[in-house]
Structure 1
């Protein structure tokens, strides 16, 4: 009897995998802003502090202090809360400071993140984010070092831009396939299935910029 092969998973979001994560510091305004957004997201989800505590594996006491701006939460703690509430990390910052400072990232210093299907041959670096109002922008540098990688299917809200920096690959969008070489780009609505179809060179590197509307 022929065995059936499970389809690759769909992309479901971002989780931080860097274990040496910094805290957000002692800015009381930032702490209060994050806490307010956590409380709003929790109430919108219809969960109590006790329920969120079970889902996030954080104590209800700590969650209460975060919501009231009494403590500075680490990035790992915020990631656990966002995962439990099914919201993006950047959504917690959208009301903090109308004037967003520029984000300068030195080469190789982007925040390492994990997406569905990630392993040692598929590396993501988040290069910053724009928050404020209804717009959310996430630029990410993706490096793939295996031709045999089995890709998940991506499908999400918003629009996306891809710019090829190194190597060659075939990339599908819906029923179409695009052959990428260095310098090629693609801009599309990301609500259709899309993703790398075939890696042609030993190493591929490309920039993706995903824009979503937080009010959706």
Structure 2
């Protein structure tokens, strides 16, 4: 199944990239396309999906045909129970055209309906031990400091600083710190509500 938010971000990134290849500022693009700067900014930054007439207007302004525009857009993979991301895979996003020094990195965009969220900071020293556990809902971990081995069902992930993992908490899991230094993780729980 295709995640519509994922495609929204891909469409926005592609529009922004082609606009910049043409050497157009956002204001110039707005003038050429007949759409407002505010709307184009929201589209480029993946905050809104353009309507079909607006998207066709943008594609025409960029001098592309519709088939060419969509040819390399791809849907995200089928959810296998986890999404593992290396730091090198994060996408840089410029949310505000005129901002200086604000570097947003899109780590994960995945919709989860009917859930509450809990955020924790977990520090694991080298002596930390526990059995695998299962939790109801989804979990997201981001390794802030150190390195660790994360066992998720039959999968084993080796996380370095900046890596992240999103997974179905129902899969038995345990982080293991096999290094002498402590590991620090940001842990976000998405607890599903019935």
What's the TM-score, normalizing by structure 2? 0.40
Q: Which of these two proteins has the greater Rg computed from alpha carbons? A: 2
What's the TM-score, normalizing by structure 1? 0.36
